[in-house]
Copies of this chain bind each other. A is one copy, B any other.
Amino acid sequence: MTMRPINVGLLGIGTVGGGTWTVLNRNREEIQRRAGREIRIAMVADQDVAKAERITGGAATVVADAREVVGHPDIDIVVELIGGYGIAKELVLAAIASGKHVVTANKALLALHGNEIFAAARDRDVMVAFEAAVGGGIPIIKAVREGLTANRIEWIAGIINGTSNFILSEMRAKGLAFATVLKEAQARGYAEADPTFDIEGIDAAHKLTILSALAFGIPMQFEKAYTEGIAKLTQEDIRYAEQLGYRIKLLGITKRTPAGIELRVHPTLIPMRRLIANVEGVMNAILVKGDAVGATMYYGAGAGAEPTASAVVADLVDVTRLLTADPEHRVPHLAFQPDRLAATPVLPMGEVVTSCYLRMRVLDRPGVLADITRVLADRSISIEAMIQREPSEGEEQVDLIMLTHEAREKDVDAAIAAIEKLPVVTAKVTRIRMESLD
């Protein structure tokens, strides 16, 4: 028995949409051998109709108005690759309302409106699949949601923004300043003209919000994520970290603690010997720690036309396979049954406990160390390691670097404020959190 092809409506044929078109066509035979059914893009909506027609070469119906696709009776699955949370949200909800299944790579949309979208999908018994939203082509959603179901997940820590990882890798390898590397990244197409989402950790926080929900069975809570970017990182910090045996990576970290869930994106010192510390360039890697399996890691291209298309098409195959399944037997959108989500609170950043790297610029005078260690001791912050750079001849100021043991964020905040008030301290204190990832 040959089943009729699955008809896909593609919203947006830009980088990822174009990649999806290419991969589905190039690997048509291979995909059909797996799925047992042809999956074809029957309709494409793009404002640039001429471009869409050039790419599809008459093999799909091209329209300018995406609303024609989401309501079209021939379409089984709508692939949303428009991005953002304006028109994309409207179209996804319209597709669901028309009883279509949805595949999307839109992490911003899901992190901000996922709860509403998944509720709408449940009401209509349709699937919303989103493997491409996190980690590009790495099947990380599937790993967390299906591969590790036996585990109580303890934490996830990931390099989930390729642009910022590229910038940090280049800064370290070439000794260049942040601003210089950012320009290079923009020239090479790794960073947008407005790079805010990538370099300020917002894109990573969108993705982390999704991973956190899947790991712990909680609703999406992007508004509670702590986000700090890489724009202030300097060569000094990268070099000092290296001397101490660490690399600095922009990590998204979500952790289960007795007090609540940690949800935070920030530059992080990690031990150089960890595999993830050696993930360079635009590559992504996500460490997942489960109580049964221990630490597992997933590595690959986190962005790009074909890697992201790889995830979109994998979702199309999954949705195709599950079209006829009882809705209650499908993998739940957020890994846990919707009526079994937990109300575990997200911890305010002030309550988070980490060890820290502190870099202080101080006058080269006797008693400085005593003053600073006193401030730390007053807040029960103990010191694990220290470097003092010897002053060059004639120099009056030196760098003092301390690695602390674990301490509560708000205590470290208070200590930093007090240290900055000391007369011997001549500049703002740099604080970078650390994670051992063991």
Q: A: which residues have CB within 8 A of B?
A: 19, 23-24, 26-27, 30-36, 131, 136-139, 142-143, 146-152, 217, 275, 278-279, 290-301, 306-307, 309-314, 317-318, 321-326, 328-332, 335-337, 340
A340 vs B33: C-alpha distance when bound (angstroms)? 6
A324 vs B324: C-alpha distance when bound (angstroms)? 10
Partner of A329, one of B33, B131, B321, B336: B321
Whether the pair A137, B314 counts as a contact (CB closer than 8 A) is: no
Partner of A139, one of B32, B146, B279, B310: B146
Partner of A292, one of B33, B293, B306, B335: B306
Whether the pair A300, B307 counts as a contact (CB closer than 8 A) is: no
Partner of A278, one of B137, B148, B275, B295: B275
**A311 CB contacts on chain B under 8 angstroms:** 150, 293
User: Are A294 and B299 CB-contacts (below 8 A) given A149-B34, A313-B149?
Assistant: no
A33 vs B344: C-alpha distance when bound (angstroms)? 14
**A317 CB contacts on chain B under 8 angstroms:** 146, 149-150
User: Are A329 and B322 CB-contacts (below 8 A) given A142-B143, A292-B27?
Assistant: yes
Q: A150-B309, A325-B329 are in contact. List 9 more A-B contacts (CB 8 A).
A: A36-B340, A149-B314, A150-B311, A150-B313, A275-B278, A292-B313, A296-B300, A298-B298, A298-B299
14 contacts between A and B (CB under 8 A): A36-B328, A36-B340, A137-B294, A138-B293, A150-B313, A150-B317, A275-B299, A292-B313, A293-B301, A294-B300, A296-B300, A297-B297, A297-B299, A321-B331
**A143 CB contacts on chain B under 8 angstroms:** 139, 142-143, 147
Partner of A291, one of B27, B294, B325, B336: B27
A281 vs B284: C-alpha distance when bound (angstroms)? 24
Whether the pair B150, A31 counts as a contact (CB closer than 8 A) is: yes
**A217 CB contacts on chain B under 8 angstroms:** 30, 33-34
